[in-house]
Structure 1
Amino acid sequence: MLGNWLKTTVLMAAIVALFGAIGSYLGGTNGMIMALIFGGAMNFFAYWFSDKMVLRMYNAREVDATSAPQFYAMVRELAQRAGLPMPRVYLIDEAQPNAFATGRNPENAAVAATTGILNLLSAREIRGVMAHELAHVRHRDILISTISATMAGAISALANFAMFFGGRDSEGRPANPLAGLLVALLAPLAASLIQMAISRAREFEADRGGAEISGDPNALADALTKIDHYARGIPMIAAEEHPATAQMMIMNPLHGGGIANLFSTHPATEERVARLRALAAGYR
């Protein structure tokens, strides 16, 4: 738990520093101070409200024991096995099979799944996926993913502003236009690298924790294999519009290959499946 709080602190500090660097380009010392204040305010906002923002981005609708009895009961059973409070449960009307967890702590957590994943997977496989999401909750790393998604999006917007409107040095003189282009390119890349460094290891841990919660590592392995196969051919518009949120999903929802894969926040599906199969062999 202490390790995740340290990661959260480092993440927040790194992103505020990026805000400061962009602010310095836009307006010298005064711009840096304003950007640092803005970054601090964004961190505060992200801590308390980013989960609601992300759920709204995906038009997620909350369900309960009446509106989605089987799915809700499955999540409740897994939460009890994990020793967690019952999270809020959401469905997203998207054809792409995917799922994520969000919230600042286990007491304020939410899990969401697309209708596509419920239609594609068997009940056993869905159970494996939701156990993975609850492992994120139990590990208390949902705060990290939600904050990084919100802040990375804000950094990209600020960097684009810097490119189109230019910047000023400490004397108020126009900055080099080439510097503006570099800021626009490098700032979002830096934010993505921060996300990637944290996210890949977190996915492996959630796979392991999900296997422990469900007691069936092969269920999650089978689910990941299916999701990887089908998700590639089905776009998720909300994720494409808000790419910073992609790292929250159990599988990368964005379309792209080649160099884009080098900066993926998700480890290779083949490696995740191999680790889960090895875990399953140890359960016998």
Structure 2
Amino acid sequence: MNGMKTAMLLAALTALFMALGYMFGGTGGATIALIFAAGMNLLTYWNADKLVLRMHHAREVDAASAPEFYGLVAELARRAAIPMPRVYLVDDPSPNAFATGRNPENAAVAATTGLLSMLSHEEVAGVMAHELGHVRNRDTLIMTMVATIAGAISMIANFGLFFGHGENRPNPLVAILAVFMAPFAAMIVQMAISRTREFGADRAGAEISGNPRALASALAKIAGPAQRMPSAASQGNPAAAQLYIVPTQVSELFSTHPATEKRIAALMALEGTPTAAPAPQPVRRSALDPNRTR
């Protein structure tokens, strides 16, 4: 199913590339856009995880450099019955995490230092189990490709304003419309594939960690700060926001995630408890926090 979704996504984004190319450069522009899209599709399939990690300035850690965090991910990967992913830390105060890679054999998971400093050990385990749920469900290919291709669409729409010329130059009003609509079109494609995916990863995370309440508590605790303090990477490329466990944009219309309250309710239902969101506990430094004084 995810393979079909990936093919449909690539076809839709390629068509959007060609439409923008035709708008800004006629038939020749559409041909160039098709060639560019084909190259982008190949590049993102094989290297999108590296691009995403570089975008976040993520640094790889291991059992020597981050023993508690790495050990936690290793234990969760064992429970999930998937290969051990590469593990990364992102020096960013925004509390969030993501998974990337084209398949479970080539996966990576990352958490921000803000997330590790805000959550308890059990909550971090719930968050990372969610990300490993994405890996196990094979969501990461489509998530990673969307983050890179949708960002490229925004870039080409903006470049088109400056590189059209002569009879091929679009009407200024049409060009301005394209600049605003191309990113929205890419986000609409994301919406069509993303929201049920998050519920699935939440269920998998609850199963892998064995603690749906801890994951629900983590979501309740980090949703507000992530909105108020979006990551540096998502500010530069808004399409990167769909990678994260909680979104960093306010508008639910264009959010790639279900409302956090609905996700919390679903998790609490898994535990058989009332669906009221768990009250966020006072912030305390996790033993996983790399900045914690030992």
Q: CA shift at 1:88, angstroms?
A: 0.1
CA distance in 2: counterparts of 1:147 and 1:20, whole angstroms = 18
In the other structure, the counterpart of 1:267 is: 258
**Preserved contact between residue 252 and residue 259 of structure 2 (Cα < 8 Å):** no
- What is residue 228 of structure 1 aligned with on the other side? 223
Note the C-alpha offset of 1:218: 0.8
2:170 aligns to what? Answer: 175
SS state of the match for residue 87, structure 2?
strand
Report the counterpart of residue 11 of structure 1 in structure 2. 9
**CA–CA distance in structure 1, aligned partners of residues 45 and 142 of structure 2:** 9
Cα distance in structure 2, aligned partners of 1:175 and 1:53: 32
Q: TM-score by structure 2 length?
A: 0.89
Corresponding residue SS for 1:232: helix
Retained in 2: the 8 A contact 1:47–1:147?
yes
> How far has the Cα of 1:87 moved from its partner?
0.1
Deviations 1:25-73 (A, max 9, x none): 1221121111011001101000111111111111111000011111111
- Cα offsets for 1:86-115 (capped at 9, x unmatched): 000000111111000000110000000011
| Residue segments in structure 1 that go unaligned for 5+ positions in a row | none
What pairs with 1:1-284 in structure 2 (closer than 5 Å)? Answer: 3-166=1-164, 172-254=167-249, 257=250, 260-281=251-272
SS at match of 2:257: coil
Count, aligned residues: 273
Checking the alignment, whether the CA contact within 8 Å between 1:166 and 1:177 is kept in structure 2 is no
- CA displacement, residues 172-220 of structure 1 (integer Å, 9 cap, x when unaligned): 5543222212221211110111112211111111001111111111111
In structure 2, C-alpha distance between the alignment counterparts of 1:271 and 1:224, rounded to whole Å: 11
Q: Which consecutive unaligned segments of at least 5 residues does structure 2 have? A: 274-294
CA contact (8 A) 1:98 1:227 kept: yes
1:167: Cα distance to partner? 6.1
Q: Deviations over 1:240-268 (max 9, x none)?
A: 112110100001134xx4xx331111111
Asked if 2 retains the 8 angstrom alpha-carbon contact of 1:98 and 1:253, the reply is: no
TM-aligned CA distance change 1:167 to 1:21, over 3 Å = farther
The 1-side partners of 2:168 and 2:149 are apart by 29
Distance in 1 between residues matched to 2:67 and 2:155, nearest whole Å: 40
Conserved? CA contact 2:126–2:212, under 8 Å = yes
Cα offsets for 1:99-141 (capped at 9, x unmatched): 0000011000000001111111111111100000000000111
Partner Cα separation in structure 1 for residue 172 and residue 229 of structure 2: 39
Q: 3-state DSSP class of the match of 1:84? A: coil
d(CA) in 2 for partners of 1:150 and 1:200?
19
Q: Which residue of 1 aligns with 2:280?
A: none
**Which segment drifts farther, 208-217 or 134-143?**
208-217
Q: Percent identity?
A: 59
CA contact (8 A) 1:19 1:155 kept: yes
Amino acid at match of 1:87: P
230-239 vs 120-129, greater mean Cα deviation: 230-239
Are 2:26 and 2:168, in contact at CA under 8 Å, matched by a contact in 1? Answer: no
